[in-house]
Amino acid sequence: MEEKKTKISHTDEEWRKVLTPAEFNICREKGTERPFTGEYYNHQQSGTYLCKCCGEALFKSEDKYDSGCGWPSFSQPNAQSVVTEHHDVSHGMVRTEITCARCDAHLGHVFNDGPQPTGLRYCINSASLNFDKE
């Protein structure tokens, strides 16, 4: 049985104390880092990618692949319960935003152009992640 985790909520002031300005922009204000600039877009180590804000285990290295888009891409989350999907119509596009289910940090977006068996591409900002090496 999956453990129910406590929802984490902080004020913007509290988040600004623990995040860099770039991390705050991406995680709390739904910003996006430039492609091919993030720490993890070409990262090859084995381990688990964690939420920058709350430490939730979001993605596993074995589900990471090079999609060519310039952001870390994953075929699936660690568990479906760790991410929440939101309808996003910002910037004149229709997309599905992904946030951390535990702390609502903006992670990126999910698209239907990924590899099988899921057919999904979770396109994630490096600044919203930490990495726990195996």
Catalytic machinery residues: 123
Give the Cα-Cα-Cα angle 32, 38, 40 (nearest 5 degrees): 125
51 in a known ligand binding site: yes
54 in a known ligand binding site: yes
How far is the CA of 54 from the CAs of 6, 100, 119, 121, in angstroms?
Answer: 11, 9, 28, 23
In 3D space, the residue among 21, 127, 113, 26 whose CA is nearest the CA of residue 75 turns out to be 113
Binding residues for Zn(2+): 51, 54, 100, 103
